[in-house]
Structure 1
Amino acid sequence: MSLFRKREPPASGPGAELPRAAVCSPSRAMTRRAAEWMGNLGGCRPLGILSDDCDDVVWQCTAERADLLLMKADFTDGAEEPRDISACCNVAVEVRRKLPDCRVYLICEDGHPEKLPALEKAVELKLIDGYCIGDLAAEQMRTWLSETAETISGRSAR
């Protein structure tokens, strides 16, 4: 048994235009759950990134040619390395250097109204494409996937 999954050949035909959606969360369990949820939701080919390290996230997104990156911010005081908005934006900037068309979205826990101005500024500066505070609803994820699919079709039409 190999520890590495077999790389799939480039897709063609129906479903080939589905966005590659990478998800990165502070814990491996949450990342796996989110990738599985996105897969069950449909409309994408999900990928879980099991690392918080900026270089790892950028490398994996680049290697998998991610069209969308969904990151969970973590404001926990006791966390070794809390992943605040600034850290998430740093990852987003690096991913976009390699993949300029990759859309980046943040999920932030509820109960931190002081973070709202920073989130709004990140969107305004186009560091991220959007954010969700609290639980991510299936409808919101479908909207983000739809926007990403439109970006992909516009890119292939060029």
Structure 2
Amino acid sequence: MNVIPIRSSCSIRVTLNGRPVELDVRPEALLLDVLRDRLQLKGAKRSCDMQVCGACTVLLDGAPVSACTFLAVEADGREIVTVEGLGTEERLDPLQEAFIDHAAVQCGFCTAGMLLTAKALLAEDPAPTRERVVHYLRGNLCRCTGYRKIVEAILACAHER
């Protein structure tokens, strides 16, 4: 009988917010836990743990993914962008500026996920309709019900490009 050894850790290499990072992670480690606990990037939030709220959204090779259910080992060789990688304090991303200008932030819990989802949308469709924005955000929940201002901010950012 052949015994398959179980690995206690795996080495992964990713590009995180534009910088190369190499980590040893447990095979079952979730990307959200690695980002928050190991790398101290707290922008992605833990909420539903079921891939339905969008609070944990990060961009993986430019596409929004739920970090709460995504295994860190699956990110090996890929590019990850968190909200911390969108802009700097000195130079905000245009979406961040639009969220501020349009008062699209209330409690802020959903903001990182909304920003990253919007970033992916605008990369895919630089001039989306209101309906397209609403549809694209369907996986992001705002517990303060601030959707109108969020949609307005995204549309304004698209029109200012």
Given the two structures, how large is their TM-score scaled by the length of structure 1?
0.29
**More helix, by proportion:** 1
Larger Rg: 2
